[in-house]
Structure formats: C-alpha cells, structure tokens
Homo-oligomer: A and B are copies of this chain.
Amino acid sequence: MTTPTVVALSGGVGGAKLASGLMRVLPHGTLRVIVNTGDDFMHLGLHISPDVDTTLYTLAGLANPETGWGRRDETWSFMEAMELLGGDTWFRLGDRDLALHVERTRRLAAGETPSQITADVAHRFGITADILPMTDDTVRTMVRTDEGELSFQDYFVRRRCRPRVASLRFDGAADARPAPRARDALRDRNLSAIVICPSNPYLSIDPILSVDGICDLLHESAAPVVAVSPLVGGRAVKGPTAKIMAELGLPVSAQEVARHYDGVLDGFVVDARPSAAACELDLPLLVTDTLMETLPDRDRLARETLEFAATLRKRRAA
C-alpha cells in the first residue's frame, strides 16, 4: 500500500501557517515542507536560518503569535547584555531562540548539513512533517534597491523594507543543488500535490524555484502544482509583498501572482474578498477565504487546497 505524500514550498510566517494546517489534516509523516534558505545569514558569528526556524517553531506550536517571528514565552536577557557589550542588536535574538542558532552553528562546524540538523530538531520538537531546507548549499537573496544592493536581512530587518526594490537576485542559486531529501520528496512517485504556500513570491518562493533543478522537478512530477495567493483583499496579510510588487512596476493583484508563477501552476487559490483587480486566469481557480487567523482557519484552507489539488490534472507533461 502506498500513502500519498504532499510537498509544500514555503517561506516565513504565512507559508508556515498553511504548512501547519497541511500537517494537521494530512496523515502523519506524509507532508514534506521545502523551505527557503535564501534568507540565511551569519550574525554575531551564528548561522541563522529565519524561514527554517519560523517553520520549525510554527509547526511545533512554539511560535510567537504576536511578533510573527521567534518563540513564544521568550526572554531577552542576552540582548540586554549584548547591548552593554556594544554588540549588534538590530536583529533581535531571544534567549530561547538563541539555543537553536548556537546549536546549528556548532553542528554545521562539525560537518553536519542543514538538512540533517533541521530533521533532528524537527524530530525533537515532535513535528510530524519533514522540514527540508531547499538546499544544503549557500544561496543568498540579494535586494537591489535605491540605496544600493543589500543583503536580505539588511533590507528586511535592519532597514525594515523601507528601501525601494528594483530587482532581486539569488546569489549562489545557479550552483546550488536541491538538498537530497527535498529532491527525493519532489521525485516521490506517491506525490499527490505540490502546494506553493502563501509566502512572498519574490522573496520567499523565487529563491526555492531558482535552485538549479527544482523547477524541472516541479515540471517532471506527475503531481499538480497549486499556489495559494498571499494577497487578501489586494493587500499582503504581512510583509512587503504588495509594496515590492508596486515598486517592481507590477499590478498588485492575485492575477499578477499567478502570472509570476506562469508555466509552473496547475491551479490557483485566491481569496474571496473583493480586490482592486479581478482575477481572470486561464487556470483552474479556487476562490475561498485564505485569511488564516486561527488554527481552524489554517486547517480549513489546507483541506480545501488539498481537495482542490485532487481535482486538478497536470497541465504539462515532463
């Protein structure tokens, strides 16, 4: 007997919410979440992997519901002491959160891969899905702005997305190979659906799709690819998706998001709220409530997305 599996491609908070819904509605061990690592960076000598951490914390039920990043029940003594030492404090590292960064950095230095470390942490956190960094190689999202080219965290956290974005590039992506377990997840013959989570298409999903070979694996898979638009009522729920679309000279619409994923999608999920631009697409469409404010919201959207995917046929063969 074969159990169908599902792959989700995800970035930060919005994607992790849907991934946690998918984990809960699917049989244990059948969800594989491929996570963006283009946001990874070295800070205070520590290897920080923000989207992987957000995914781990969210799926473990440890995420901070107020901030959208870091852990709940967090304390901040480290940051206070670091301030007195004159160290960098623009990237807020909670005391509990820090344990993950220190342990990851130590294990990477000892020769373990991001994939191995992430799998072990997910296991210790009791997570019943596989959390798979997109690659074990180094990819760095670089943001070209009116203030020059910035590393991702410099743009996103230090400058709070204020600079105007002109373009993005994913340094190292062309030479990066998909992590073996991410590749295997996409090649799985029991794969029944590939869900592109409602993460920022430009900052969170594009780095995954830019890793050499991942787009081909999406095409080659017999499973339909369905994306959930991150726009609700013509705006991003969180983060700079809409701002970046406007700065790139694009219409801020779900239709434009679908167009961005052109050639990859077999179906598209958009929010039912009225938005500035109507969604006219030559693509199977699910119109529903995509706002995930509660855990039941996540589960419902996950279930609807999976049911929608089950109705889809692959548009292009390998």
- Could you list which residues of chain A lie within 8 angstroms of chain B, going by C-beta atoms? 44-46, 71, 74-75, 77-82, 84-87, 94-100, 102-103, 105-106, 109, 120-121, 124-125
Given contacts A44-B102, A74-B77, A78-B96, 8 further A-B contacts (CB under 8 A): A71-B81, A75-B75, A78-B78, A78-B98, A81-B95, A84-B99, A85-B99, A85-B100
List 10 A-B residue pairs with CB atoms under 8 Å apart, sorted by A's residue number.
Answer: A44-B103, A45-B102, A77-B94, A78-B95, A79-B99, A81-B99, A82-B102, A84-B124, A85-B124, A87-B99
Residues of B within 8 A of A124 (CB): 84-86
Give the contacting residue for A98; candidates B74, B81, B84, B121; CB below 8 A: B81
Cβ contacts under 8 Å, A87 to chain B:
99, 102-103, 106
Could you tell me the distance between the alpha carbons of A238 and B82 in the complex, rounded to whole angstroms?
30
Q: How far is the CB of A103 from chain B (nearest CB, A)?
A: 5
A96 touches B81 (CB 8 A): yes
C-alpha gap A80/B71 in the complex (Å): 13
Q: Which residue of the partner chain, among B77, B81, B84, B103, contacts A82 with CB atoms under 8 Å?
A: B103
CB distance from A305 to the nearest CB of B (A): 31
Closest residue of chain B to A73, judged by CB?
Answer: B77
The minimal Cβ–Cβ distance linking A196 to chain B, given in whole angstroms, is 30
Contacts of A99 in B (CB 8 A): 78-79, 81-82, 84-85, 87
Chain B residue numbers with a CB within 8 Å of A100 are 81, 85
A283 to B48, CA, bound (A): 59
The 7 A-B pairs at the shortest CB distance, nearest first, are namely A81-B99, A77-B95, A45-B106, A81-B96, A95-B95, A82-B99, A75-B77
Residues of B close to A102: CB separation below 8 A: 44-46, 78, 82, 87, 102
A106 to chain B, nearest CB (A): 4
- CA separation between A119 and B265, bound complex, in Å? 59
Q: Are A98 and B96 in contact (CB under 8 A)?
A: no
The residue of chain B having its C-beta at the shortest distance from the C-beta of A82 within the complex is B99
A298–B20 Cα distance when bound, in Å, is 58
Q: Residue on B with the closest CB to A85?
A: B103
Q: How far, in Å, is A256 (CB) from chain B's closest CB?
A: 41
- Rounded to whole angstroms, the CA-CA distance of A94 and B80 in the bound complex is 13
Across the interface, which residues of B come within 8 angstroms of A85, CB to CB? 99-100, 103, 121, 124
Nearest CB in chain B: distance from A122 CB, A:
11
With A85-B99, A99-B81 known as contacts, the answer to whether A105 contacts B75 (CB < 8 A) is no
Please, which residue of chain B has its CB at the minimum distance from the CB of A105?
Answer: B45
Q: How far is the CB of A53 from chain B (nearest CB, A)?
A: 12
